[in-house]
């Protein structure tokens, strides 16, 4: 089991021309041990920042983040080898022109022998049913296939935790279903932000983020209820 601990974390960024830095996340303390955790909240609420903290893509301005005892700033390499990260847009994540090459790239660090690397990449692609598409240009794949490929490339190095930032936002209904089934079959701990409330309801625990704070933490049904009430009480304000 994994233990991710955020203690009194705040994230601020400097804004050009503004006198004070902007706060993206304020005083967040969490202990994440559940297998399936959903993070919900409006656009710009701080969801992405929260997720990015978990594998060291964002450093806390105050407080600490640790994954199984490894600190996310001091020990960022260890943290990243444990925490796989999947972005919303697979095209921003896939760095090689074909699926095979992208998965092999993931493996370059851990497997030096090229024959062995090739074999392992094939096994990973096979597992996700992507072997037939392995040599196609990533631009010729469907959105769902691309997202699966991004997932496969991240899982190739076998992380203990999988963080997904709105993985289904760009997908149609059928591909969402495919992604949902694939995720359900994984043994990794999964922490995922989503606008798909149906997906959130399947989690073991759900966090609601609003304006840089965790405003609800608990069962997914109550979380979704809370989020709905929040959205109803406060009409969208545009640039927040």
Sites of contact with another protein (CB under 8 A)? 11-16, 21, 24, 48-49, 52, 55-59, 61, 72-73, 76-77, 80-81, 84-85, 87, 91-98, 101, 104-106, 108-109, 114, 117, 135, 137, 139, 153-154, 157
In the numeric block, which tokens belong to residue 86? 């999947």
- Our CB check for another protein shows the closer of 106 and 168 to be 106
- The tokens describing 47, both together, are 């969801």
For another protein, the closer of residues 75 and 202 by Cβ is: 75
How near is the Cβ of 147 to another protein at its closest, in Å?
14
Taking residue 224's Cβ as centre, other Cβ atoms within 10 Å add up to: 19
In the complex, what is the shortest distance from the CB of residue 102 to another protein, in angstroms, rounded to a whole number? 10
- Of 72 and 194, nearer to another protein (C-beta) is 72
Maximal CA-CA distance, the chain: 59
Distance CA 76, CA 129 (A): 32
C-alpha span between 82 and 49 (Å, rounded)? 18
Contacts (Cβ under 8 Å, ≥6 apart) of 197: 40, 224, 227
**Smaller CB distance to another protein: residue 25 or 178?**
25
Least distance between another protein and beta carbon 223 (Å): 24
């Amino acid at each position: 089991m994994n233990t991710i601990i955020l203690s009194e974390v705040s994230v601020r960024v400097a804004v050009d021309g503004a006198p004070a830095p902007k706060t993206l996340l304020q005083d967040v303390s969490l202990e994440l041990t559940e297998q399936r955790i959903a993070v919900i909240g409006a656009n710009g609420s701080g969801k992405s920042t929260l997720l990015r903290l978990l594998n060291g893509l964002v450093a806390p301005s105050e407080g600490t983040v640790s994954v199984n005892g490894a600190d996310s700033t001091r020990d960022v390499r260890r943290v990243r080898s444990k925490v796989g990260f999947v972005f919303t847009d697979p095209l921003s994540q896939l760095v090689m022109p074909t699926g095979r090459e992208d998965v092999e790239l993931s493996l370059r660090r851990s497997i030096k022998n090229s024959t062995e690397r090739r074999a392992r990449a094939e096994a990973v692609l096979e597992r996700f049913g992507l072997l037939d598409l392995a040599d196609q240009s990533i631009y010729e794949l469907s959105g769902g296939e691309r997202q699966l490929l991004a997932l496969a490339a991240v899982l190739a190095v076998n992380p203990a935790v999988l963080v997904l930032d709105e993985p289904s936002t760009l997908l149609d209904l059928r591909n969402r279903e495919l992604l949902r089934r694939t995720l359900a079959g994984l043994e990794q701990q999964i922490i995922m932000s989503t606008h798909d409330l149906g997906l959130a309801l399947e989690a073991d625990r759900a966090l609601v983020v609003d304006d840089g704070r965790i405003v609800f933490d608990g069962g997914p049904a109550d979380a979704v209820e809370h989020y709905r009430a929040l959205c109803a009480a406060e009409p969208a304000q545009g640039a927040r």
